[in-house]
Amino acid sequence: MSAVPHSSADLDFAPMTSADLGAVVAAEAGIYEFPWSHGNFADSLISGHRAWVACRRDRLAGYGVMMMVLDEAHLLNISVVPELQGRGLGSRLLEHFFADARAHGGSRMLLEVRPSNAAGLRLYARHGFAEIGRRRDYYPARHGREEAVVMERAL
């Protein structure tokens, strides 16, 4: 990963490191009912996944993790801290991942999203993602399991 952070207006993007995990895991727990664990993020870093943090005024604003497999980018996690949601930061973070995937040979991006995540579905549709399938019983849910909507976008 590049060690040099770069900016996009009032967001600074930097590769996620183990030093970021405390803040990322705390944010994750405040966003999701079934959050990724410290181990999930640590394993992603160890595996060499493309992981980024976005900071605003030196505070965590968002983060994401993407796995590259040949020319395919698989967006595993993308999140904006609750107090900054609804301000376009998700779009900016997503655009950052598009550029990063292209820079690493990506020609398409895939992701899974809960059908109950209306905001996520709207964000992905606005950015050219289309549904290509469903995965049954993919996510833990309050009452059993929830399927995943599988989406794809050309880069």
Domain count, the chain: 1
Task: Give the contacts of 20 (CB within 8 A, at least 6 positions apart).
Answer: 53, 60, 63
Residue 97 lies in a domain: yes
| pLDDT above 50 (res 3) | no
Identify the pLDDT of residue 140.
87
Is the pLDDT assigned to residue 31 strictly greater than 90? yes
| Identity of the amino acid at 109 | M
Which residues is 92 bridged to in the sheet? none
> Locate tokens 């005024």: which residue?
57
* pLDDT higher than 80, residue 76: yes
* 106, burial (CB in 10 Å: exposed 0-12, middle 13-18, buried 19+): buried
Is the pLDDT at 53 greater than 60? The verdict is yes
The CATH number of the domain holding residue 113 is: 3.40.630.30
Catalytic residues: 112, 124
pLDDT at 17: 97
Q: Give yes or no for a contact between 151 and 132, defined as CB atoms under 8 angstroms apart.
A: yes
Model confidence at 68, pLDDT cuts 50, 70, 90, reads: very high
- Is residue 68, in this structure, part of any structural domain at all? yes
Among residues 85, 153, 154, 95, which one has the least CA distance to residue 120?
Answer: 85
- C-alpha–C-alpha distance, residues 70 and 155, integer Å: 14
What is the Cα–Cα distance from 104 to 93, expressed in whole angstroms? 17
* pLDDT tens digits, 99-109: 999 999 999 99
Domain that holds residue 65: 6-154
Choose among 102, 40, 115: nearest CA to 73.
Answer: 102
Question: With the C-alpha atoms ordered 18, 43, 148, 92, is the resulting torsion angle positive or negative?
Answer: positive
**19 within a domain of the structure (yes/no):** yes
63 falls within a domain = yes
Secondary structure (3-state) at 76: strand
Residue 1 lies in a domain: no
- Cα separation of the two ends of the chain: 20
